[in-house]
């Protein structure tokens, strides 16, 4: 088991692409994309995010979930989803750039890091490696 990661973006393409990119370096980590509105316009959807978070809670088998977001309203949607989630305490929101933070978080999770360390890895992303 590893920490699960949910990618909340305004764009389903961004979320899916970011998951594909990070999966290359973290094949054993459950990465779940939650991008776009429920009808795949640009925007976010509480239902999509909540479903992704719940799936990730199951996939990660108690190891916890880190959520990455793009713009501010994605943060607000993610925070709302956390209020409705079955295990809010197992979910941490990262204040990190979406793509760059995701790769760092996924690599940390792949290496067996705990949920706090996975979040820290995302948030520590600075200049491009």
Partner 1 sequence: MGLDVKWAQDWLRLSAKAMAEHRVELIELDRPIGDSDHGENMDRGFQAVLQKLDESPPETAGAALKAAAMALMSKVGGAAGPLYGTAYLRAATSLGEATDIDPEALAAALIAARDGIVARGKAEVGDKTMIDAWTPAVDAASNAAAAGQEAAAVLEAAADAAEAGAKSTDPLVARKGRASYLGDRSAGHRDPGAVSTALLLRAAAEAAAGPAVGTGAGAG
The distance of closest approach from Cβ of residue 59 to partner 1 in the complex, given in angstroms and rounded to an integer, is 21
Number of other residues whose CB lies within 10 A of the CB of residue 66: 32
Among 62, 72, 89, 126, binds partner 1 (CB under 8 A): 72
Mention every residue, 6+ apart, whose C-beta is less than 8 A from residue 106.
5, 22, 23, 25, 26, 29, 31
Q: Does 51 bind partner 1 (CB under 8 A)?
A: no
The distance of closest approach from Cβ of residue 98 to partner 1 in the complex, given in angstroms and rounded to an integer, is 16
Of residues 94 through 113, those in contact with partner 1 by CB under 8 A are 103-104, 107, 111
Secondary structure class of 17 (helix, strand, coil) = helix
Write the burial class of residue 79 (CB in 10 Å: 0-12 exposed, 13-18 middle, 19+ buried): middle
Among 4, 32, 35, 57, binds a copy of itself (CB under 8 A): 35
Separation of alpha carbons 32 and 78, rounded Å: 13
Among 3, 6, 8, 12, binds a copy of itself (CB under 8 A): 12
Among 1, 13, 47, 61, binds partner 1 (CB under 8 A): 47
Nearest CA among 81, 75, 78, 29 for reference residue 18: 29
User: Judged by CB, which is closer to a copy of itself: 29, or 57?
Assistant: 29
Q: Does 39 bind a copy of itself (CB under 8 A)?
A: no
């Amino acid at each position: 088991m590893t920490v699960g990661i949910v990618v909340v973006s305004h764009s389903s393409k961004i979320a899916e692409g970011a998951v594909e990119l990070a999966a290359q370096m973290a094949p054993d980590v459950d990465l779940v994309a939650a991008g776009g509105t429920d009808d795949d316009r640009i925007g976010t959807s509480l239902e999509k995010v909540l479903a992704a978070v719940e799936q990730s809670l199951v996939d990660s088998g108690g190891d916890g979930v880190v959520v990455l977001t793009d713009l501010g309203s994605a943060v607000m949607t993610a925070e709302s989803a956390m209020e409705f989630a079955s295990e809010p305490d197992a979910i941490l929101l990262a204040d990190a750039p979406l793509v760059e933070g995701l790769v760092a978080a996924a690599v940390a999770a792949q290496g067996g890091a705990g949920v706090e360390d996975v979040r820290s890895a995302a948030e520590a992303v600075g200049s491009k490696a």
